[in-house]
Amino acid sequence: MARFLKNKSVALGNIPGDPVFIGDKKMEKTEIHIIEYDKNEIKEYDLEAKDITTLTLNKNKNTWININGLHDIEMLRSLADVFHIHMLTQEDIVNTGQRSKIEEYDNYLYFVMKMLQIDKNNLLVQSEQLSLILGENFLITFQERTGDVFTSVRNRLRKQKGRVRKMDTDYLAYSLLDCIIDRYMVIIEHFGEDIENIENAIQDNPDKSILNKIYDYKREMNYLRKTIRPVKECVSGFSRLDSDIINEKTLPFTKDLLDSVTQSLEIIDAYRDMLSDHLNIYSTNINNRLNEIMKILTIFSAIFIPLTFIAGIYGTNFDFLPELHFKYAYPIFWAILLLIAGLMLRFFKRKNWF
Amino acid sequence: MARFLKNKSVALGNIPGDPVFIGDKKMEKTEIHIIEYDKNEIKEYDLEAKDITTLTLNKNKNTWININGLHDIEMLRSLADVFHIHMLTQEDIVNTGQRSKIEEYDNYLYFVMKMLQIDKNNLLVQSEQLSLILGENFLITFQERTGDVFTSVRNRLRKQKGRVRKMDTDYLAYSLLDCIIDRYMVIIEHFGEDIENIENAIQDNPDKSILNKIYDYKREMNYLRKTIRPVKECVSGFSRLDSDIINEKTLPFTKDLLDSVTQSLEIIDAYRDMLSDHLNIYSTNINNRLNEIMKILTIFSAIFIPLTFIAGIYGTNFDFLPELHFKYAYPIFWAILLLIAGLMLRFFKRKNWF
Amino acid sequence: MARFLKNKSVALGNIPGDPVFIGDKKMEKTEIHIIEYDKNEIKEYDLEAKDITTLTLNKNKNTWININGLHDIEMLRSLADVFHIHMLTQEDIVNTGQRSKIEEYDNYLYFVMKMLQIDKNNLLVQSEQLSLILGENFLITFQERTGDVFTSVRNRLRKQKGRVRKMDTDYLAYSLLDCIIDRYMVIIEHFGEDIENIENAIQDNPDKSILNKIYDYKREMNYLRKTIRPVKECVSGFSRLDSDIINEKTLPFTKDLLDSVTQSLEIIDAYRDMLSDHLNIYSTNINNRLNEIMKILTIFSAIFIPLTFIAGIYGTNFDFLPELHFKYAYPIFWAILLLIAGLMLRFFKRKNWF
Amino acid sequence: MARFLKNKSVALGNIPGDPVFIGDKKMEKTEIHIIEYDKNEIKEYDLEAKDITTLTLNKNKNTWININGLHDIEMLRSLADVFHIHMLTQEDIVNTGQRSKIEEYDNYLYFVMKMLQIDKNNLLVQSEQLSLILGENFLITFQERTGDVFTSVRNRLRKQKGRVRKMDTDYLAYSLLDCIIDRYMVIIEHFGEDIENIENAIQDNPDKSILNKIYDYKREMNYLRKTIRPVKECVSGFSRLDSDIINEKTLPFTKDLLDSVTQSLEIIDAYRDMLSDHLNIYSTNINNRLNEIMKILTIFSAIFIPLTFIAGIYGTNFDFLPELHFKYAYPIFWAILLLIAGLMLRFFKRKNWF
Amino acid sequence: MARFLKNKSVALGNIPGDPVFIGDKKMEKTEIHIIEYDKNEIKEYDLEAKDITTLTLNKNKNTWININGLHDIEMLRSLADVFHIHMLTQEDIVNTGQRSKIEEYDNYLYFVMKMLQIDKNNLLVQSEQLSLILGENFLITFQERTGDVFTSVRNRLRKQKGRVRKMDTDYLAYSLLDCIIDRYMVIIEHFGEDIENIENAIQDNPDKSILNKIYDYKREMNYLRKTIRPVKECVSGFSRLDSDIINEKTLPFTKDLLDSVTQSLEIIDAYRDMLSDHLNIYSTNINNRLNEIMKILTIFSAIFIPLTFIAGIYGTNFDFLPELHFKYAYPIFWAILLLIAGLMLRFFKRKNWF
């Protein structure tokens, strides 16, 4: 199945702004987890999807609503009513083939991000869509399925580590984005080590498996680039936003995010160049080897084919073939053979073939 | 016939702004279909080309005039008089070789778009030109021939699904563009699956048909890119327009369009890169195979050519050839042959040839 | 002789702004043709070069002065005095190696354009320089030699077709540029058909003449791109001009010009990509063929070389060679030969070589 | 280990803004060296890490605090308290995988730079991170380990050479950046000489070691480009800063820096192009050689294989083989052999094979 | 020695703004030539380096001070004192490895330009640095050695040709830059003719010397591009300057300069593309030839190897080999040989191998 663009044909003919779940249903039941916190207190609880309408925000606290599983359109609609979420946002949340982007609406910011993880068996990077809705004192996150990406942030919230409890939901959103982008780096680093090491393998033993590896890495760098490039636009938009929702103190942190994404893309490009170089070198090496093979063949052929011919001459059965009857014919014959072989070897030696 | 640029020589010497039909006449008779609608009512009827001058707009309703078939210049001129359409617009409507673009005139916006469809037999993408003239409360669309692309929008209009009935003709125009761009995605996805799967075929069995496939896909990606790139400019212009004709509520939808086109182009570029990688890998694989073929040839030649030479020696008919008369000459001869063969095999083994 | 950059060495050491004819003298005698027109009347007459100083403009009419042949520096100087033409403009008019450009002077606009035509014998595109000086109510055009490019415009002027008679010299200038750029399209289309058709030839019968064709087309696309890219800048400047000389009504027409040039360049780029793909496919095809050739050679060699060796063995003249004297030696010998041949064939069959 | 992106996985899950040392600990003990200077006086002393809190700035003098070794987080925190350093800056100082950048904070400018040095044994460029914090009258520099890069600046300070003593810490910062960027140039020059000389080696004796060299240089150019490109952004930001900390007199010097970095990048790109050309030429040379090898093989084979066949014919033992009994059969046989050989040689001569 | 970047290691550790001569000393003694001129008068004289301090400007006249030879730092310092030249300018004048640039100082404009000349023996382009300091009524030029580049300008000054005597030093500076850039064109044209002609050579006789030529031209185009690209920035800056030193009447001339440099760069890029195409075609041609060589080898081998085998069969000495004793065995044997040969030829004919 196409990984670079998926499920677009399913969406054909949908009404724009009508939320229809497009993607693989990765969970049976939608999970809703809510964290309400301020500097002093933190409260966590789960909510049933059907009870979503009962949700009320405490205006003096920050509320993080995390929703795992995107197939429950009814729940999404109820939630959208509560938080005044635009229908295009609703559509994008459940249509998991979106590009990363940031959109500003009257009462909230909407982020689409891609979470990446690597399947180490077949070296395939897989992406999942994360949607964030960031309002004045709330943050709603939508994941395709339950994962452990945000565990570290949750722990910091619970244990009051870092400044996440002291600041508002905009900083919380930043923290989540930071988690995701750090993962990009780790994935790139994972490939990077292999990519930089391929060089030795090419020079030592350029077999076919290396060719497949180079190809696989090129494809994944291609995929990473395609996925992360829109993230840069999105983060860059975030860092340049002039919105009441973003506290001025959070801005330097968003610039830090931008640095990370930029560095990711630069390194992906450097690795792409490196892989192209790998492929060129591999290919030239193959040609070098062909030359060596052909030299060996040619040396053998050029020496022994004339010799065989001469032996063939004296294997003929002509009645009248005087040389056959000379006394020293046979030693002379050998001498001529050796002379020819010697001359040929000298010829190839002069050509620097061995 | 050239598909990338067509019928330009026909247009040579035409008067600028003089509408002359340039293209393949795909319909016998021009069809005019009119839908008049507002929130409460919808009225549909057909009109003969000759009756076009009788057309009057109801200023309190939205009117969508859909025209299939572009060869009837007379009808176009009459229509242009009714709606005050600039002569350059008239020329562009019937000259089907235009780039996609958006142009702002005093009383209307003019869009040229390309509708794409894929001929699955020979993997060729074909394009048709769609012109839209969007006025205050009317929308005129010109298609080269009757098709079913807009059926879903028509159904939504009739069945009051979505918000299309509640909003004005600018939203209707958006809906049509959305239909067209969704089709792009579906076409790209169709190719994408094949393109991503070629990889396995290259590694398993790189025969010539794959080479042709790679080439065909490259050509079509090239064609798609050439066709869709101007669409991006056009949609981008649409989303940045500051025109009375565009309702502010429609703007987020145009940004959504822009996202889709941008994503299309990014994926086309990713596939182009992937196809170039495919071709490189294919080509390197071919070279790898050549090396293997040559290794086999060289091993056989290098082993048997010397042996044949030695056999040739003892096939000579020299009167005086002492070895022939030794008692154990023949077994020794075999021993020497086997020794030579063994040494050669060891030589190639050491070179890691097998 | 260099076609991409010519006659620069001739110009070395010239005084800047000093008009010196640089180019091939393509006409014996300079021809001056004058058309004076307004909505109601049109008057045409020829002028001798020496009478240029007698020229007076009718301020209520539009005057188009067309000059064929650039070598008459005296005439140019006289004309320049009459129309207050800057010395740099004078230099550029007669130095035919200019890039296309637009320059705004106090009392006129100066255009340098390249007219292209294709020499169908050797597939070479040739360029000629056209200079336009556009003033309030006059237009002076300078061509290297008499041609028929502007015949259609002249006819429209004479026959009052289109709007050219109703509008001023700025629209006339636009009409001439439109003629020239339409020609670009026709040339590109001429190449385009061939380029798109090469594909089949590559797959059917990739001989050397195709390689030369690919190369020729690449060179010409290169040439077209180099020539037309500055035209885009020039036309883009034209459409963004804020000059009294340009009537507001002419502006939509200049945007139309820009569309055409942009499309030309996009298609040239698409063809460039396509030709690079052609070359890659051709080259990979050649390698594919080499593989097939080598497979045939290897199969033949690997089968017959061992057989010949075995035949050689029993051609030796050893006194004591027991197999020779067995009764069924010869049939067994054949059986062994066939067995070996069969095994070899199976070996290559398994390798999928045939 | 990956050199292009390192230690990112270690940083995973860190709290943003929390300084955690990420890198190789290159020194046992942190060294702090302080230089206090003005036009008239200069005072130098070392400080223990634990005494950092005792540090007081003399507001009338310039103070340069140089810190070698980044692992002492406690010391960094104390210093940060004294100089009001933002927590993100703290994090960046000790996380040695940063891109080069410049950041403006309320009371200081923060630079991250990369110092490069070349390991001449294995041609690897290694980078170390340098952080500069530039305040009103102080400059703090953080290096990964003690080095001699800044010795020349220190000497100028001590000996009052140049204008460094007469100007403020912004000029000092410039001087240090200038040192670093000069080193880039020297490294590029070191590679450049080799790269430009490879050309002769390719033409004379294109063996495999050259291929590896080309590859190594490509990789290092890739690395240099990736490392220096952000430096350009950083220096460009420096030269466009509108900050009280930067004296107007220092600005021309920053433009000079920008020139140097731009030149570095241009030359790296020129060398990258050159190396790609090298590789292409090398590869085409290899193919040229293959052609020569195959010509030799083919000439030998095509001459001797038919001859051997003819000899084989007359080696057959048919009872009735009339030619064998002709008197002049043997000389005629030789004549035929020589004729065939001569014809073959002429055939290859005509093909220009030798 | 590296030509693309030179002598940077020598400059390491220099004090910024401290003029140290870096380059090859190309003259023994510094020459100073002064031309003082206005519309009516011109005065020329030489000055000893040591008398530089005696120089006084006549404020009502224009003064052009031309200095050949850059190693005399003392003289430079004295001159700098007289004309208030910034220390960074001083450093750049004598450090001959600068990029071309324009810098605006309070009382003068500073240009660094590269003069190119071609060494026709080894096709190497060499560059020399020219510095211009353009003040209100003076122009100082610094060349590495005496040359004849400016002779034509000097003659125009002396003979009152063109407008150089009527205008001020800004026009003089323009005239010198124009000389230099015209030379670029001539050099490009020199290469261009060869580059465009290589095509025929590739198709006729693609030997190794052509490969070296392609490579040499690529390298020089690379060098020209690297050298001229900064010149474009510099000239572009010149044409956009808003400085009292530049007379408004000179501005159209600077735009003309910009046109020339832009054209140079476009043509260099076109030639770069063409050379890459040359290389591709050359390489594909080589492969084509290899195919032909291998076809010949394979045809010979495939025909004669089986024949030789059959001859070998009947050369065996089996006691019981019935065919040998048939009466018509030998003619039948020949018939079989010819049949096999015929079948093989037909096989290769069908494959279109000849």
Chains with 3 or more CB pairs closer than 8 angstroms to A?
B, D
What are the tokens at D235? 């220096």
ipTM above 0.95, yes or no: no
Structure tokens at B91: 């020329």
Residue B302 contacts residue A296 (beta carbons within 8 Å): yes
Task: Show which subunits contact B, needing at least 3 CB pairs below 8 angstroms.
Answer: A, C
Q: Is C108's pLDDT higher than 80?
A: yes
User: In chain C, positions 38-57, which contact chain B (CB-CB < 8 Å)?
Assistant: none
Q: Give me the pLDDT at residue E160, please.
A: 83
Largest CA distance in chain B: 121
Write out the H or E segment, with its range, that includes residue E211.
Answer: helix E208-240
Note which residues in 186-215 of chain D have CB less than 8 A from chain A.
205, 208, 211-212, 214-215
pTM for this structure? 0.90
What digits encode the pLDDT tens for the residues D264-310?
999 999 999 999 999 999 999 999 999 999 999 999 999 999 999 99
**Cβ contact (<8 Å) for D293 and A295?**
yes
CA distance E81 to chain C (A): 34
Residue B207 confidence (pLDDT) above 90: no
Question: How many pairs of residues across A and B have Cβ atoms under 8 Å apart?
Answer: 177
CB pairs under 8 A between B and C: 177
- Alpha-carbon distance values, B65 to A156, B56, B103 (Å): 60, 11, 19
From the list C252, C312, C352, the residue facing B308 with the nearest CB is: C312
Residue-wise pLDDT for E87-114, tens only, equals 999 999 999 888 999 999 999 999 999 9
Q: Do C229 and E266 touch (CB under 8 A)?
A: yes
pLDDT-derived band at E265 (thresholds 50, 70, 90) equals very high
Share of chain B above pLDDT 90, in %: 62
Percent of chain B whose pLDDT exceeds 70: 98
| pLDDT score for E1 | 53
Candidates B156, B252, B273; nearest CB to A88: B252
d(CA B34, CA A91): 31
Question: Which one of C8, C211, C215 has the shortest CB-CB distance to E186?
Answer: C8
- D287 close to E (CB below 8 A): yes
Residue contact A103–B190, C-beta within 8 A: no
- Whether the pLDDT of residue C1 is over 70: the answer is no
Sequence letter at residue A25: K
State how far residue B133 is from chain A, nearest Cα, in angstroms: 21
The secondary structure element, H or E, covering residue B42 is strand B42-47
Residues E3-26: tens digit of each pLDDT: 887 767 666 767 777 788 887 788
> Given the structure tokens 């180490």, which residue do they identify?
A120
Distance CA C92, CA C19 (A): 7
Looking at CA atoms only, how far is residue C40 from chain E in angstroms?
39
SS3 D131: strand
**E126, E131, E132, E133 alpha-carbon torsion, rounded to 10°:** 180
Question: What is the rounded CA–CA span in Å between residue A177 and residue A183?
Answer: 10
pLDDT score, position D19: 84
pLDDT under 50 in chain A at which residues?
none
Q: Is A354 on the interface with B (CB under 8 A)?
A: no
Write down which chains contact chain D via at least 3 CB pairs under 8 A.
A, E
**Token pair in block for residue E187:** 């050099």
Say how far residue E76 (Cα) sits from the centre of its chain.
31
Rounded to an integer, the average pLDDT of C111-140 is 91
Q: How many CB atoms lie within 10 A of CB A241?
A: 17
Tell me the C-alpha distance between E354 and E348, whole Å. Answer: 7
Instruction: Tell me whether strands D101-104 and D62-68 are parallel, antiparallel or unpaired.
Output: unpaired
Q: Are E49 and E75 in contact (CB under 8 A)?
A: yes
What the block records as the tokens of C250 is 């002419």
Q: Find which of A266, A295, A300, A345 to mutate to test the D interface (most D CBs within 10 Å of its CB).
A: A266
Asked which of A113-122, B30-39, C6-15, D55-64 is least confident by mean pLDDT, the reply is: C6-15
Local confidence band at E180 (pLDDT 50, 70, 90 cut-offs): very high
C-alpha torsion sign, points B296, B298, B301, B303: negative
Express each pLDDT in E67-81 by its tens digit: 999 989 999 999 999
Which chain A residue shows the shortest CA-CA distance from B321? Answer: A330
| E108: region left, alpha or beta (phi > 0 left; psi from -120 to 50 alpha) | beta
Q: Are E142 and E158 in contact (CB under 8 A)?
A: no
Instruction: List pLDDT tens digits, range B306-315.
Output: 999 999 999 9
Would you call C289 and E284 a contact, using CB atoms and an 8 Å cutoff?
A: no
**Using the beta-carbon criterion (under 8 Å), do D88 and A178 form an inter-chain contact?**
no
Which amino acid, one-letter code, is at B253?
A: F
- Spatial contact of C316 and B315, defined as CB atoms under 8 Å apart: yes
CB < 8 Å from D in window 13-42 of A: none
D122 touches chain A (CB under 8 A): no
User: Based on the number of CB atoms within 10 Å of its own CB, is C163 exposed (0-12), middle (13-18) or buried (19 or more)?
Assistant: middle
Query: How many other C-beta atoms can be found within 10 angstroms of the C-beta atom of residue E349?
Result: 10
Q: A62-68 and A138-143 as β-strands: parallel, antiparallel, unpaired?
A: parallel
**Residue A218 with chain B: CB contacts under 8 Å:** 277
> Which of B182, B192, B313 is the closest to A2 by Cβ?
B192
Top-confidence residue, E207 or B313 = B313
Res C354: pLDDT: 79
Identify the bridge partners of residue C130 per DSSP, sorted by sequence position: C113, C143
> Residue E334: how many CB atoms within 10 A of its CB?
11
Q: In this complex, is the C-beta atom of D271 within 8 Å of any C-beta atom belonging to chain A? A: no
| Model pLDDT for residues D155-191, shown as the tens digit of each residue | 999 988 778 888 999 999 999 999 999 999 999 999 9
Distance of CA E50 to the CA centre of its chain: 38
Q: What angle do CA B253, B257, B260 make, to 5 degrees?
A: 135
Give pLDDT tens digits for D110-157.
999 999 998 877 788 999 999 999 998 999 999 998 888 899 899 999
Flag whether residue E298 sits within 8 Å of chain C, measured between CB atoms: yes
Of B16, B88, B297, the CB nearest to C301: B297
Tokens 């053979």 belong to: A337
Question: Could you say which of E174, E285, E295 has the minimum Cβ distance to residue C293?
Answer: E295
Which residues have C-beta within 8 Å of that of residue C218, sequence separation ≥ 6? C272, C275, C276, C279, E277
Residue D44 belongs to what H/E stretch?
A: strand D42-47
Reported as a single tens digit per residue, the pLDDT across C21-53 is 887 788 888 999 999 999 999 999 999 988 888
Q: How confident is the model at residue D1 (pLDDT cuts 50, 70, 90)?
A: low
Q: How far apart are CA B309 and CA B302, in angstroms?
A: 11
Count of residues making up chain E: 354
